Structure formats: C-alpha cells, structure tokens
Structure 1
C-alpha cells in the first residue's frame, strides 16, 4: 500500500512538472510571438486558435474576429484555394510546400502580400498548423515597378529603329546591343558582346575617342557626343551622330548609346558632253 501511495505521488509530481514545463514553454512562445513584427498564428482544422499582435495589425481584424473566421477567408481569391488545400493537407502530415507568397485582403479591403512559411505541429494534443508570415507588400510593389520599368526599357531599347548599345564605362566592353545595331553594323549579338566600342572605330581616331571618353566619363544625364566615324563589319565607313546617357546596368556603370546615321549627299550627275547634247 505504501509503495502504491509513493508511486501515485511520484506520478503526480511528474505530471505537475510536465504541466509547469508546458506552461513555461507556452509563456515563452507568447512572449516571443507578441513582440515579433512577423504575423504568427496557429490554426486547427479551418479556424485560427491563436493570432499574435502583428496579425491583428496587418489584417485590421480584432483577435475575436480572427478566431471566428476560417483561415483561408482572409486570402485573396487568386490564392484562396491553394492556401486552403495546403493548410488542410499540412495538418494531415502530407508533403506540401513550406514557404510561398500570397495575397490577403484586409478588413479595409486592401491587398497585402505575405511571405509565408508554415509547419505542422501538435497543439494541445491535436494536429495544427503554425504559420509565420512577413508583410512584403512594399517589396512586391518595387518588384512590379521594376518589371514595368524593365518592360518600358525593352520597348525603348530593343524596338528602337536606331542602333543602340550599352557599354561599360570602365572597360569599354559592349554589354548589350539592340537588333537595329546588329542589322546596321553587320556583327552578330555574340560578336558585339566580345568586342569593345573602340573596335568599331577607325584606329587613327582612337586617340581622339579616349580623350573624349576621359572628358565625358563623369558627366551624367543626356549628352550629345557629336558626329563620329564608325566602321561596319564589311569595312565600310559611316558617319553617325551619337547621343549617350549614363546609367547603372547589371552592376556596371554604363552608358546607353543611340547612333543616328548621317545621310551622305548623293553625288551630282556629271554633265553630258556638248556633242552628246546636240544629238
């Protein structure tokens, strides 16, 4: 009987220690979650069981409101089904992506982008999902602006009927050329990218070219460089009017060049001999 009482007492103390350890772990988790700038939440089935302060701040909903709605109802319609199915599959320990981006709709009707990571956990003995998300709306907007800017650049550069190229200010190597430059000079794009800008200039003008480049190296904005002689792949010399603009391109300080061919005056026809005119 005494041994039985001792065993019960030990089991009770062990259970109390486990419960205290669990309470301390829960307190540490909440202290960390409530001070985090990331959205941290736990969901079981289709509903939230815990949301931190950042979750309330970003979504615009109160804790009471969030605990009443299904976790996927916050998600933008474009991503809702994906997030819904992955969230349920995760709780079934099925293999699904652990990190991805999606949009949510806030209480005010605004769209926000989240960089979301999730894992399957046991919460109070029941399978659950732990989600951690960062609001990356500003980053996404910058990416969209860059993509739009890139598209405008491509339209301006690649579709321009005038020969255009980009070259490294330090090495003078070609960095990019448009189709008009390929067609006008006769070099392939691959050939251009293995060359420098001095390779399309007559050798006797290299000294003047280097002097001009040194003088204009630190000048920004749009610059009219004047008329220069260029050599095509077939050796033919042409005169072009050069306009340049300094910019950053793929980590290089570069200049964007546009070349406009100077039309050569047509030679006047030779006058016919008097004998030919009489006939």
Structure 2
C-alpha cells in the first residue's frame, strides 16, 4: 500500500532500508529530477549522497544523523544532476516498518525551480519594478532569508561577477564571498537580524565578494526586505567600488612605502618652514640626536646647533631661502639632546609653493663623525709611520711598472743625494738622475724583474763610498706590490747597510783560520820536542842524581826546552798577526 501511495505522488520519493542497506522504493520521477534511472540508484546505493552539492553535504549529513525513530526534518539544498545544479527541498523522516521491523529512511524530494515555474508565470515581475531591477547598472539580486539562496539576479550582476544566471540560481550569498568573509557575514546577519522578516532597509557597508575567476570585488551593499514568490526575501544593490578601494589602498601603500623609505634612510631628512622651525625630520635624525618627534617638530633649527656655529647656520638658511634653486652646502657640528657632538654634512634647497613663493627649506644630511675620526686616525697613523720610516737609517723605496718612484724615505733621498748630488721626488724615472752607467741600470733591472714576476727575495749589493772609496755592503729585500685585483703594480724595496756585519763575519772567519793554524802547530811542531823531553826525563838516574850521564841528559833537556820556547813564540805571533803564515 505504501509503495502505491508513493508512486502516485508528483514528487520524487525514495525509501531506503537501513538494516538491509538497499532501496525498497524509488519513484519514477527520479529520472526527470536527476537524469539517473531507478536501476542506477539500486546498483549504487551511495549515488544520492554524491549528488548533494559539496557546499551542502555537511548540513544534510548533520540533519540526518540527528534523526531518531519517528523524527522528520525539512531540508533545502543543491544537487548536481546530469543537466546541472538545481535546488531541491526534501522531507526526510525515519520510522520502523511495521511488517519487517526494519528501520526505513523515507525521502520526499521536490524540485524548487519546477515548483516555482508552475506556480508563478510572472517570475520576471518584482512588484511591478522589473525594469528598474533588470536594467540597473549596479549588480542586484534577491535572496531567500531562510536559506540565503539566490532567487534572481540582474544583467549587471552576471556581467560583474561573471557567473551565468543558471550558476547564480544554484548559489547562496555565502558562495560569492571568500572563505575569510563567510563567518563575518553570519555574525553580521545575526547581529542586524537581517534574516528576520521585520528587518527593513539596511546599509551594510563595503564587503569583499569573489567573482567566478577568483578575483576580489569590493561591493557597497544596500538591501531591503521584500516578499518574492511567497517567500521572505531581501533585494540587494551591490555598488562596485573596487577601483575606488584599490585607489585608496594604492595611495595608502605608496604612503607606507614612502614613510618606510624615509625612515629606512641612513641620511637625515629635514624640512623647515619660513621661520626656521622644523616641520619634519625623519627617524634617522631623531635616533641620532636623541629627540622625540614632539620635542623637535615646531622647534627652531638652532636647537641642535652648537653655540659657536649658530650664526653660520642662520646665514646658510638665509642664503637658501633667498636663492631658490641653489643648493647650499655646509658642514656644521650638531649637538644631541644629551650634549653629544656630531660632525655633519648638509645640502639644503628652498621649498616653493605653486605660485613660486618660498615657504621654507628642506635638507639632506649625514653624520660624518666616524668618517672624520677615521680620517684623523689615518692621518695620525700616517704621520707616525712616516716619522718612524724617516728616522731609520735603512733605505726604503718603491717603483711602479713604468720604473718611476712611488715612494722613498729620507734615508733613501740622503743616500741618493750623496751619490748623485740630486734629490729624487715621487714620479721621477729611476734612469734620469745620477752618473750611473749602463751596467748599474742593467744590474737593477735584473734585480727588479723577479719581484715584478711575483718572487719575494733578498740580494746582497756592493757599492763604493764616493767619499772614502770603501766597499759598502747592503742587504736589499724586493717585495711585489699587489692591487685590489691581485695584480702586481710595483715593487717595494728595503735596503740595510750590513758592512759592519760583513767585516765582523770576515774577522771571525780569519780568527777561525788562525786558530786552526795554531791547532796545527800545536799538534805537529810542539808534540815532537815534548815527546823528546818526556823520553829524556824517563832515562835520568833518579837514584844517583850525580851520575855523569845525567849531566848529558840535562843538556839535551835544555836544548829541547829552547825548541819548545820557539814553538810557543810562533803560536803567540800567529794569534796577533793578520797575515797567516
């Protein structure tokens, strides 16, 4: 009997036996509604669940899970048919079949669009104002309060949002919003009671909407409650203000960028009005001098001037505003809030209005304290290094690849003057001055070449002192000079007089030779008479000292003693004479 009643309905009906997991009844209208046959549903019991639009699956499943025996729920959602998306209403109930005792889920589904077409032949009319709706240049739509589904849209909405009319009619007003805006919309509708029939005209402000291609549209929303197709609805006008919002955002971004750029500057930026009061300083200025914006804006520029330079700064300001277009440069000392002194450099130029009248000045400056201190340190170091280099008796000089002097210390200049009668200067050719012959030039060319090829080495040079005609020995080190790119651009030389060291070494060598000769004399000439003496002593008659033979032995000992004395004299003479025997 139940099956016959369900079959007689104009609506689509499905009865699903949960215990046996199968459909016990599907009405013939299922094909017209979905495009799928009764056989399709019986072969695939999960087909209906898959037809539910993903946007509505959660609410349908939640409502179904809450059903108990004898409960009924009314649903409104979208399904995806073979012909496209459409809205349906469903009366879904759960009960126990009296004959089988099985749990049955009964669904009676109605096609909302077909129902509305059958009941209303004047769908295009909106209280007689269809022309104002359809031809309005601003996007408009009507949505149902209870379900938020869109029931009608105008041409401007289709053009602006780029959804087709069919697509719009399968959507809710949540679907045209990015995900981040949907919870915001729910809260707004509850707060303003928009979904209540008593809600009237409302200016909702600017909202983010999303077009079909995912692009964001900023819409200024105004709506009012209406009765449409016997339903409580709202009619909405969405004024597209995207360009205006984008323009404002661009301006804001440019301002933020400029402010960020200004605050990120390591230079000082300053503007002064015609009276000399600060109207703007950037973050770098405030940080360096220790002021806050409130302390410096409106204060006179002499606030940071050291007393002895106030007049200098005032004169520079007057020059600036009286000579528009000219850049005024000055390098004053500035004092911070805590009394700290800074060396600064500034460039100022006059500010003019649209009429060309000077309204003040603006300047760009920088703190050069560290740079000046570094330069002072470099000068101090250079002077001390020069003093050290020029106070040594060692010769120091360098040449470039063009064989021109790059540097020479005072000892080098003095030696050069002593040898040639002229004083060399930086840039002179090493070949232009002096009475040096070609052999000297050739010798030094050969000495420089290895260093120009990257070899660091030491050579011994011999010269004749023009005043004493004595030989002078010098130890000269040759060192390649590299530039920042690693290329050899010159040779640095360091010459030290080692004449005394050579003399000492020679004297030590001579002394060693004399000692060797003394040792030779001692080992040969002295050993023979000593051996003879020892032999004679051994044959002396020690028991009878007056033995006549002892006299003869003593005479021989005297002769040997004279020989030993001669050898000793020879050793002494060898120790104090410069000429070796």
Q: Do both proteins adopt the same fold according to a TM-score greater than 0.5, normalized to the shorter chain?
A: yes
1:53 aligns with 2:161: no
Instruction: Return the alpha-carbon distance in structure 2 between the equivalents of residues 32 and 168 of structure 1.
Output: 57
Residues 200-223 of structure 1, C-alpha deviations (whole Å, 9 max, x = no match)? 56245434423323534xx6xxx9
The residue that corresponds to 1:8 in the other structure is none
Instruction: Return the alpha-carbon distance in structure 2 between the equivalents of residues 208 and 25 of structure 1.
Output: 75
Query: Does the 8 A contact of 1:91 with 1:120 survive in 2?
Result: no
The residue that corresponds to 2:365 in the other structure is 259
Query: Does the 8 A contact of 1:43 with 1:130 survive in 2?
Result: yes
Query: Does the 8 A contact of 2:344 with 2:365 survive in 1?
Result: no
Counting only pairs closer than 5 Å after superposition, residues 1-279 of structure 1 correspond to structure 2 as 26-27=127-128, 29-44=129-144, 45-84=147-186, 86-87=188-189, 89-92=193-196, 98-123=203-228, 126-165=231-270, 167=271, 173-197=277-301, 200=304, 202-216=310-324, 225-229=328-332, 231-232=334-335, 233=337, 234=339, 238-242=343-347, 257-263=363-369, 264=372, 266=376
Shift of 1:230: 5.6
1:199 to 1:125, Cα distance in 2 relative to 1, 3 A: farther
1:147 to 1:63, Cα distance in 2 relative to 1, 3 A: same
1:153 to 1:35, Cα distance in 2 relative to 1, 3 A: same
Instruction: Return the alpha-carbon distance in structure 2 between the equivalents of residues 52 and 113 of structure 1.
Output: 18
Shift of 1:66: 1.7
- Unpaired runs of at least 5, structure 1: 1-22, 272-279
Mean CA deviation greater in 43-52 or 97-106:
97-106
**SS of structure 1 residue aligned to 2:212:** coil
Shift of 1:59: 0.8
- Unpaired runs of at least 5, structure 2: 1-123, 354-358, 385-581
Larger Rg: 1 or 2?
A: 2
Instruction: Return the alpha-carbon distance in structure 2 between the equivalents of residues 254 and 136 of structure 1.
Output: 39
Shift of 1:245: 11
Q: Which has the higher contact order (CA 8 A, sep 6+)?
A: 1
Query: Does the 8 A contact of 2:269 with 2:281 survive in 1?
Result: yes
Residues 47-103 of structure 1, C-alpha deviations (whole Å, 9 max, x = no match)? 223322221110112333322322221211221233356457512258898423332
**SS of structure 2 residue aligned to 1:129:** strand
**SS of structure 1 residue aligned to 2:127:** helix
Question: What is the aligned-residue RMSD (CA, Å)?
Answer: 4.2
Query: Does the 8 A contact of 2:316 with 2:328 survive in 1?
Result: no
1:169 to 1:129, Cα distance in 2 relative to 1, 3 A: farther
Normalization by structure 2: what TM-score? 0.34
Residues 195-249 of structure 1, C-alpha deviations (whole Å, 9 max, x = no match)? 2446556245434423323534xx6xxx96533436435495744233779899x
Instruction: Return the alpha-carbon distance in structure 2 between the equivalents of residues 126 and 172 of structure 1.
Output: 71
Instruction: Return the alpha-carbon distance in structure 2 between the equivalents of residues 82 and 107 of structure 1.
Output: 21
1:100 to 1:256, Cα distance in 2 relative to 1, 3 A: farther
Instruction: Return the alpha-carbon distance in structure 2 between the equivalents of residues 230 and 135 of structure 1.
Output: 57
Residues 165-192 of structure 1, C-alpha deviations (whole Å, 9 max, x = no match)? 4x36666643443343123334332111
Mean CA deviation greater in 61-70 or 83-92:
83-92
Query: Does the 8 A contact of 1:229 with 1:238 survive in 2?
Result: yes
Shift of 1:107: 2.3
> What count of residue pairs does the alignment treat as equivalent?
238
Normalization by structure 1: what TM-score? 0.65
Instruction: Return the alpha-carbon distance in structure 2 between the equivalents of residues 236 and 46 of structure 1.
Output: 70
Query: Does the 8 A contact of 1:241 with 1:261 survive in 2?
Result: no
**SS of structure 2 residue aligned to 1:120:** strand
1:132 to 1:174, Cα distance in 2 relative to 1, 3 A: farther
